[in-house]
Amino acid sequence: GEDVEQSLFLSVREGDSSVINCTYTDSSSTYLYWYKQEPGAGLQLLTYIFSNMDMKQDQRLTVLLNKKDKHLSLRIADTQTGDSAIYFCAERTGGQNFVFGPGTRLSVLP
Amino acid sequence: DTGVSQDPRHKITKRGQNVTFRCDPISEHNRLYWYRQTLGQGPEFLTYFQNEAQLEKSRLLSDRFSAERPKGSFSTLEIQRTEQGDSAMYLCASSLDRAPGELFFGEGSRLTVL
């Protein structure tokens, strides 16, 4: 079945880079997404990558996709306290369903 | 800015009561999704509409749950005979039916069953 896994916690110092990792199981996934959830707020799309791409860069965000290993990562450069949130990896499967991981709670220490 | 809106934001009910949540999607979005999120978990898919047609339902959606989208605009999710295990955040999201088709989420409706 479809499954998305992430490590649950990550702690970094302000100004360092954060790398959040995700593995997924459905090789037919067409798009993979990263969402951010701040306390009391809805999920907000950060970025996405098409499955035939290896990398996508968007300002401080870099997404790397290793399709062979079904591994996705999100790198946040120069991490700020405002980046503290829960980050969800999601895959869009062959149907229209989106499968989300459990989320990685990023804590940014001053 | 008319994003996805959900109502009510928080509902407290007693076990056995019925509850209904409403979702108003972004107006030009023809796809509408319901998800459930419990503490420490990612959103779990419940059901999805393309316009007014309910095209997919999760096995999580027991017969106590029913969702409608009568005119292809707003949607309702009703839970009958609520149980304590139904306590969760119910999330609505909408999207366009073209790539990349990303979901736009509302802030959710939190259900607490006593």
CA–CA min distance B42, chain A (Å): 4
Partner residue opposite A103 with nearest CB, options B42, B55, B101? B42
The answer to whether A108 touches A16, Cβ cutoff 8 Å, is no
Averaged pLDDT score across all residues of chain B = 93
Question: Tens digit of pLDDT for each residue in A55-67?
Answer: 999 999 999 999 9
Q: Is A107 helix (H, G, I), strand (E, B) or coil?
A: strand
Mutate which: B23, B91, B103, B107, vs A, most A CBs within 10 A: B103
Contact assessment for residue A20 and residue A87, using Cβ atoms and an 8 Å cutoff:
yes
**B38 at interface of A, judged by CB pairs closer than 8 A:** no
Residue with tokens 């951010």: A36
Task: Using pLDDT thresholds of 50, 70 and 90, give the confidence band for residue A92.
Answer: confident
**Which phi and psi (to 5°) does residue A85 adopt?**
180, -175
Q: Dump pLDDT digits (tens) for B41-55.
A: 899 999 999 999 999
Q: What is the mean pLDDT of each run of 10 residues along chain B (114 residues)?
A: 90 98 94 93 93 90 93 95 96 88 93 97
| Residue A31 touches chain B, beta carbons under 8 Å | yes
